[in-house]
Structure 1
Amino acid sequence: MPGTGGLGPAGAVRAIERVLLDGLDPEAAPARSAVPVPAGELLLMPAAAGPYAGVKIAGVVPDNPARGLPRITGSYLLLDGATLQPLAVLDGAALTALRTPAVTAAALARLAEPEAEHLVVFGSGPQAYGHLDALLAVRPLRRLTVVARDPGRVAALVAYGRGLGLMASAGGPEAVGRADVVVCCTTARTPLFDGALVPAHAAVAAVGSHEPEAREVDEVLVGRAELYVEARTVAAREAGDLLLAGVGGRQLWNLAELVRGDALVPDGRPRFFKSVGMAWEDLAVAAEVYRAGRRRAP
């Protein structure tokens, strides 16, 4: 089963941007189906756009990391859009590890200051590595602070950052007070830091949960920030970071509006992007993996 065929972070970001610039409406995208199972949760995520259709079947298994296995499992079936004949099967976990950071990077390429240098990342799993790689494709990062619970995994990510030429170190939640960009990619169900500490110039992204009862940021940050989501329809069901903060009638800009240049991006207040994961994103990246593989074929 192929992974992501050598497609890198920059290519994945371009794939996300391309489908939005071509007119895809995230608000009309099919909803995710979530089925509780004894091991965790099964997710079914179908989508169709342009010449392709596809579906991801993903498992979320909270106990897997303790077994040395990925928390996210699954497969992606890419189909020809006109005939629905199978074209490729991809590793669902590898696809998720590429597409989630690509979505964040597409947003933060517009929300983070052009000279943003200091990234604070909460988490030390695959998404933390993926987000670091993706954000280096869109911003001139020079400094990395890792905030996570497992000292060994923190040390490994710090070493990885140093290998990329960054000034990297472990830190605590208070590091957000010196951040240009903050990314939360954890399994936390309660806020990770005091939102009052986030500088007014900073951009923050939270990607760790698609549950309405879980959040990684507090109502203080949400209240201070301009708010951005993949789609308002999905955020209203799944974005606990916003729902638990009681955003009510607040303006939420979606990712298409942001990428197309229609969203307000203010100075003088933080910008907060909340991602829950959507099926059209998987399709966009899976299709690019497939196209890239065909271009390399003899």
Structure 2
Amino acid sequence: MPFLDSDAVHAALPMRDAVRALQQALRDGLSPEADPPRGVLPVDNGQLLLMPAHGRAYAGVKVATVAPGNPARGLPRIQGRYLLLCAETLTPLATLDGIALTDIRTAAVSAAAADLLAPRDASRLVLFGGGPQARSHLRALHAVRPITRVTVVGRTPDRARTLARGLPDISGVRVDTGGPEAVASADLVACCTTATTPLFDGDLLPPHATVVAVGSHEPGAREVDTRTVLRSTVVVEAVSAATREAGDIVQVIREGLLDPAALVPLADLARGAALPVDGRPRLFKSVGMAWEDLVLAGAAYEAGRARPVRGNR
């Protein structure tokens, strides 16, 4: 059975192709609401996650781990493997590196949403975070918008400079550092952190700004404040998942300030059944869902069959 390692997964899924695959799956009728809830088992040093999904051609399951102490050990915070199956026979077809798949799909979903929400000329990105997801989000958002300037925000100026040095060198993109107030001049804001409290003042957001927040899937954690949510058109992968897992959304609903019916499913946006409201910021809150892993695992498998890729063995 083929195993696609990290290099093979990245080779099979260029970011533009990953974004298109996700958008096309939604346009073809895939229903994110059909995803079962994520299985989460707390353990002494983190969490074990189980994320199954099924579709017309493939079924699959990702087994992942979240170990908050790993970065201090020089290890990834999130690790795992993906098992891809034939939907008709449930025969195993391939396994894929779960780190690479998660890295790509999280940023690709954000870019798929930003491509439907952000002005076509959006060029100024404010980036909170400096880990693998921050790097992937820079690549992904650059794939769908003409980004020329990136402001990296960290907990301290020294931290921000360290984070900025870790970003990929992309031709024509100027990277500098700043504070949370930089969102006041942003076209795009990407929140890719492990923060549990809001990163910036939502009143500072320009009316045209698009925010993507991907840092957590826990109802007690949030990266954006209540003002950001209330001022924005709020787009989510699935209403059921957002109201169960997205602290940025759950906490505002619990405050009695947001009606879940106001949330816009990403599928509706992709199919043209919903549009953002002019003159308001746009917020895409992602928790990461199993259907995204399945779509991209299938695409990677098909690309690997079409041409030899390193690790396809």
TM score, norm. by length of structure 1: 0.96
Aligned counterparts of 2:240 and 2:270: Cα–Cα separation in 1: 18
Q: Deviations along 1:153-183, whole A, 9 cap, x unmatched?
A: 313235x34x432111011101100100001
Which amino acid is the alignment partner of residue 217 of structure 2? Answer: H
* Aligned ranges 1:252-267 → 2 under 5 Å: 252-267=263-278
**What value does the CA root-mean-square deviation take over the aligned residues?**
1.4
Q: Displacement of 1:248 after TM fit? A: 3.0
Q: Deviations along 1:193-229, whole A, 9 cap, x unmatched?
A: 0000010110011000000000000001111111110
Gaps of 5+ in 1: none
Out of 216, 239, 251, the residue aligned to residue 244 of structure 1 is: 251
* Aligned ranges 1:86-235 → 2 under 5 Å: 86-149=92-155, 150-151=159-160, 153-157=162-166, 160-161=168-169, 163-235=170-242
Structure 1 residues 152 and 142, CA, compared in 2 at 3 Å: closer, same or farther?
Answer: closer
The aligned residue for residue 272 of structure 1 is 283
Bigger shift: 263-272 or 142-151? 142-151
Aligned counterparts of 1:55 and 1:82: Cα–Cα separation in 2: 15
Structure 1 residues 220 and 230, CA, compared in 2 at 3 Å: closer, same or farther?
Answer: same
The aligned residue for residue 286 of structure 1 is 297
- Is the CA contact 1:5–1:292 (under 8 Å) kept in the aligned structure 2? no
- Is the CA contact 2:58–2:85 (under 8 Å) kept in the aligned structure 1? yes
Which amino acid is the alignment partner of residue 192 of structure 2? Answer: C
- Is the CA contact 2:83–2:92 (under 8 Å) kept in the aligned structure 1? yes
Which amino acid is the alignment partner of residue 305 of structure 2? Answer: R
The alignment partner of 1:119 has SS state of: strand
The aligned residue for residue 19 of structure 2 is 13
Is 1:51 matched up with 2:62?
Answer: no
Report the number of matched residues.
296
Q: Displacement of 1:250 after TM fit? A: 4.8
Structure 1 residues 207 and 225, CA, compared in 2 at 3 Å: closer, same or farther?
Answer: same
- Is the CA contact 1:146–1:157 (under 8 Å) kept in the aligned structure 2? no
Aligned counterparts of 1:207 and 1:126: Cα–Cα separation in 2: 12
Gaps of 5+ in 2: none
The alignment partner of 1:267 has SS state of: coil
The alignment partner of 1:78 has SS state of: strand
- Is the CA contact 2:239–2:260 (under 8 Å) kept in the aligned structure 1? no
The alignment partner of 2:302 has SS state of: helix
Q: Displacement of 1:19 after TM fit? A: 1.2
- Is the CA contact 2:61–2:82 (under 8 Å) kept in the aligned structure 1? yes
TM score, norm. by length of structure 2: 0.92
Amino-acid identity (%): 56
Which amino acid is the alignment partner of residue 134 of structure 1? Answer: A
Aligned counterparts of 2:70 and 2:104: Cα–Cα separation in 1: 20
Aligned counterparts of 1:152 and 1:35: Cα–Cα separation in 2: 36
